[in-house]
């Protein structure tokens, strides 16, 4: 009788994540995705005035000063935030209503409407930009609409709402699908009115979806370039559009600095989003 032997823990046949060939590809892809961003951040500290900020000439933080003192840039940043906040709020409300509408009711031509709502999600951004620009121009809303803040941003806000509420609706709709209709019926059975049911039963279930939709809408608005570019005028500039014009003018570390700030903001948002998601998962057991 042979003595029992031990066997090393080799990766099992379909344990792809342990194979080194695949791990290398994964690593390569990750590096590919992150290196340009890191380089951008590093070069925001580059002491180089000309030459396109490609050659390292020494460390400095003066371009951050420049960026923060750049009035136009700061104004653009303010605009972007304002637009993002307002458009997110409205998008979420519209998205929720739309999602519930589609989930609840049947009406003629429903598939058509469903298609219309998902349109902004599938078509290339430039088509959105073009069509919104044309619409606004027909309404006389293109470019500067007013000199009063925030009304001058209204057209951009409307544009943002238009393309972000379908995304919010999609996220919320997914969340709706996991809703147990019987809970609603139980509440009605116990005497609650329709609105109360909505407020006390449906809305809490939807909360994670609404939060996710809001974050999505916010990010989309914050980052948007093409649509905003088509719809805005010289006085209503958002952060990405301003950076774009700076890039066309000349490439300096100031742009890097501004970009780094935006990256940090995005990171913070993502961090909060995850935190919220984890809390939701721990809290609600649906």
> Of 171-200, which residues contact another protein (CB under 8 A)?
none
Applying CB under 8 A, among 49, 50, 54, 65 the residue interacting with another protein is 54
The terminus-to-terminus CA distance of the chain in angstroms comes to 56
**Minimum CB distance to another protein smaller for 108 or for 283:** 108
C-alpha distances in angstroms, 138 versus 126, 142, 194?
Answer: 18, 8, 41
For 38, left (φ over 0), alpha (ψ -120 to 50), or beta?
alpha
Region from 109-117, 144-152, 194-202, 203-211 binding another protein, contact rule CB under 8 A: 109-117
**Minimum CB distance to another protein smaller for 63 or for 165:** 165
Region from 57-65, 66-74, 206-214, 259-267 binding another protein, contact rule CB under 8 A: 259-267
Structure tokens at 209: 């979806």
Which residues, numbered 7-46, are part of the site for another protein (CB under 8 A)?
A: 7, 10, 12-17, 22-23, 25-26, 29-30, 32-37, 39-40, 43
**Minimum CB distance to another protein smaller for 187 or for 257:** 257
Q: Does 235 bind another protein (CB under 8 A)?
A: no
Q: Does 213 bind another protein (CB under 8 A)?
A: no
To the nearest whole angstrom, how small is the minimum distance from the Cβ of residue 266 to another protein?
A: 5
Using DSSP, state whether 243 is helix, strand or coil: helix
Q: What is the distance between the alpha carbons of residues 165 and 167, in angstroms, rounded to a whole number?
A: 5
Output DSSP code: residue 18.
Answer: G
C-alpha distances in angstroms, 132 versus 121, 169, 231?
Answer: 15, 20, 7
């Amino acid at each position: 009788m042979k003595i029992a032997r031990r066997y090393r823990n080799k990766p099992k046949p379909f344990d792809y994540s342990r194979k080194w060939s695949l791990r290398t590809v994964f690593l390569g892809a990750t590096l590919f995705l992150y290196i340009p961003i890191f380089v951008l951040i590093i070069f925001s500290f580059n002491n180089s005035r000309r030459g396109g900020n490609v050659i390292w000439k020494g460390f400095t933080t003066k371009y951050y000063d420049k960026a923060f003192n750049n009035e136009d840039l700061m104004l653009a940043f303010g605009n972007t935030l304002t637009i993002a906040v307002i458009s997110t709020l409205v998008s979420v409300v519209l998205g929720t209503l739309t999602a519930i509408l589609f989930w609840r009711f049947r009406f003629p031509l429903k598939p058509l409407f469903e298609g219309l709502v998902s349109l902004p999600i599938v078509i290339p951004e430039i088509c959105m930009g073009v069509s919104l620009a044309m619409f606004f121009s027909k309404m006389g809303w293109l470019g500067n609409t007013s000199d009063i803040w925030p009304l001058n941003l209204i057209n951009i806000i409307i544009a943002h709402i238009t393309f972000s509420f379908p995304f919010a609706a999609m996220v919320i709709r997914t969340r709706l699908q996991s809703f147990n209709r019987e809970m609603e019926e139980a509440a009605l059975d116990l005497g609650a009115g329709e609105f109360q049911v909505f407020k006390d039963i449906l809305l809490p279930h939807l909360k994670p979806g609404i939060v996710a939709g809001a974050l999505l809408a916010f990010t989309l608005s914050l980052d948007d370039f093409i649509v905003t570019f088509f719809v805005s005028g010289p006085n209503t500039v958002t952060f990405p559009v301003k950076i774009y014009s700076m890039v066309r003018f000349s490439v300096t570390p100031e742009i890097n600095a501004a970009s780094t700030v935006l990256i940090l903001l995005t990171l913070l948002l993502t961090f909060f989003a995850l935190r919220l998601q984890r809390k939701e998962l721990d809290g609600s057991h649906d």
